[in-house]
Amino acid sequence: DTAVSQTPKYLVTQMGNDKSIKCEQNLGHDTMYWYKQDSKKFLKIMFSYNNKELIINETVPNRFSPKSPDKAHLNLHINSLELGDSAVYFCASSQGIYTGELFFGEGSRLTVL
């Protein structure tokens, strides 16, 4: 039973389109995150939610909008996709804010053509 699951695993789309990536965790954790991993493997935090409340919002274009309908779900919506948005996006969760281990999903590879 997958702890942190993301869908879709692969996403290929055209520039200018809008797309969403969904994330769900069944670990009972309070905190969820979105990370972006670029082609050089650099892993950068984008957002963090604790109990549906935004707590980390790094310097990310406002074309990216996270939404947390409940503490088990954190979705990422991206408007007006650009070539530079191509990356692997990882969802993660932890028991609480800054309490330790992050549990990552398998990643969603977004390719913008």
Closer by beta carbon to other proteins, 15 or else 54:
54
Measured in degrees and rounded to the nearest 5, phi and psi for residue 91 equal -95, 145
Nearer to other proteins, 75 or 108 (CB): 108
CB of 105 to other proteins, least distance (A): 5
Number of H helices, E strands in the chain: 0, 11
Closest alpha carbon to 93 in 42, 37, 41, 24: 24
What's the closest the beta carbon of residue 55 comes to other proteins, in angstroms? 10
Q: What is the binding site for other proteins (CB under 8 A)?
A: 4, 33, 35, 40-45, 48, 56, 90, 92, 94, 98, 100-102, 104-107
For the purposes of burial, counting CB atoms within 10 Å of the CB of 47, is it exposed (0-12), middle (13-18) or buried (19 or more)? buried
Instruction: Decide whether 60 or 102 has the Cβ nearer to other proteins.
Output: 102
